[in-house]
Structure 1
Amino acid sequence: MSLPLITDYDIQEKLGVGSYASVYKARHKKQNTYHAIKYVEMSTLSQSSRDNLITEIRLLRDLKHKYIVTLQDFFWDDKNIYIVLEYCNAGNLSAFIRTKKALPESTCRYFLRQLAAAVQYMRANDVSHFDLKPQNLLLTRSANNVYLKVADFGFAQHLKLGELNQQLKGSPLYMAPEIVRKHQYDAKADLWSVGVILYECLFGKAPYSSRTIEELLLRIRKAEPIVLPPNARISNECHDLLRRLLAHEPAQRISFADFFAHPFLDLKTFPSEQTLKKAIDLVTQAVGHDEKRNYKEAYYLYCSALQYFVPLITEESDASRRQELRNRALTYMKRAEEIKNVIIEDEYKLLAQRQQKAFEKSVAATTAEAANHQTQPSTSRMMEMLEPDARYKQLFALSNSSPSLKTGLEIGRQGELYLYERKLDAALESYTSALGILVPFVNNEPKGERRNLLLQQLEFWIKEAESIKSILSAKHLDDEEQKMSTEHCHTFFRTSSHTFIYSYAL
Structure 2
Amino acid sequence: MAGAGWAPPRLDEYILTEPLGSGTYATVYKAYRKRDTREVVAIKCVNKRSLNRASVENLLTEIEILKTIRHPNIVELKDFQWDGDHIYLIMEFCAGGDLSRFIRMRRMLPEKVARVFLQQLACALKFLHDRNISHLDLKPQNILLSAPENPQLKLADFGFAQYMSPWDEKHVLRGSPLYMAPEMVCRQHYDARVDLWSVGVILYEALFGKPPFASRSFAELEEKIRSDRAVETDLVVEAVRKDQEGDAAAAFSLYRKALEYFVPALHYESDVRRKEAIRAKVRQYISRAEELKVLVTSSNKNLLEKGNPARELLKEMAKDKPRLCAALEVASAAIAKEEEGRDDSDALELYQQSLGELLLLLAAEPAGRRRELLHAEIQTLMARAEYLKDQIKMREAQSMGKEALAESVRSACTLQ
Q: Using structure 2 for the length normalisation, give the TM-score.
A: 0.58
State the alpha-carbon separation in 2 of the partners of residues 442 and 164 from structure 1: 37
Gaps of 5+ in 2: 3-7, 240-253, 276-336, 350-388, 412-416
Q: Is 1:204 matched with 2:209?
A: yes
Provide the secondary structure at the position in 2 that maps to 1:94: helix
| Stretch of structure 1 that moved more, 146-155 or 114-123 | 114-123
Q: Would you say the 8 A contact 1:198–1:242 is kept in 2?
A: no
Match of 1:104 in 2: 110
- Taking the aligned partners of 1:418 and 1:53, their CA distance within structure 2 comes to 61
Describe the SS at the equivalent of 2:152. Answer: strand
Q: After superposition, give the CA deviation of every residue in 1:179-219 in whole Å (9 maximum; x if it has no partner).
A: 11133111221122112111211221111212344433443
One-letter identity of the residue aligned with 1:162: W
- Cα distance 1:37–1:6, how it changes in 2: closer, same or farther (>3 A)? same
How many Å separate the matches in 2 of 1:145 and 1:105? Answer: 15
Which of these residues, 138, 145, 149, is aligned with residue 132 of structure 1? 138
Identify if the C-alpha distance between structure 1 residues 54 and 223 changes in structure 2 by more than 3 Å, giving closer, same or farther. farther
Residue pair 2:263, 2:401 contacting (<8 A) in 1 also: no
231, 238, 261: which one pairs with 1:226? 231
Change (3 A) 1:433 1:225: closer
| C-alpha contact (below 8 Å) 1:41/1:79 kept by paired residues | yes
* 3-state SS of 1:22 partner: strand
2:54 to 20, 44, 48: 48
- Write out per-residue CA displacement over residues 252-298 of structure 1, whole angstroms, 9 at most, x where no aligned residue: 9xxxxxxxxxxxxxxxxxxxxxxxxxxxxxxxxxxxxxxxxxxxxxx
- Equivalenced residue count is 285
1:28 aligns with 2:22: no
Distance 2:87 2:264 in 1: 41
CA distance in 2, matches of 1:220, 1:421: 46
Q: Residues 244 and 146 from structure 1, CA distance in 2 versus in 1: closer, same or farther, beyond 3 angstroms? A: farther
1:83 equivalent in structure 2: 89
Identity %: 40
Paired position in structure 1 for 2:16: 11
* Superposition map of 1:431-470 within 5 A: 438=403
Contact 2:77 2:89 in 1 (8 A): yes
> Secondary structure at the residue paired with 2:153?
strand
1:39 to 20, 40, 45: 45
Structure 2: distance between partners of 1:160 and 1:85? 27
8 A Cα contact 2:27 2:46, kept in partner: yes
Distance 1:213 1:237 in 2: 31
Kept after mapping to 2: 8 A contact 1:167/1:183: no
Residue number in structure 1 paired with 2:156? 151
1:117 alignment partner AA: C
Residues of 2 paired with 1:44 and 1:215: CA distance?
Answer: 31
Letter in 2 for 1:47: R
TM-align CA RMSD = 3.8
Equivalent-residue separation in structure 2 for 1:150 and 1:26 (angstroms): 20
Instruction: From the superposition, tell whether residues 183 and 21 of structure 1 become closer, same or farther in structure 2 (CA, over 3 Å).
Output: farther
CA contact (8 A) 2:41 2:91 kept: yes
Aligned in 2, Cα 1:223/1:19: closer, same or farther, shift over 3 Å?
A: farther
Of the three residues 53, 71, 74, the one matched with 1:68 is 74
SS where residue 167 of structure 1 aligns?
A: coil
Distance 2:209 2:32 in 1: 34
Pair 245,217 (structure 1): closer, same or farther in 2 beyond 3 Å: farther
Residues 5, 178 of structure 1: CA spacing in aligned structure 2 closer, same or farther, 3 A cutoff? same
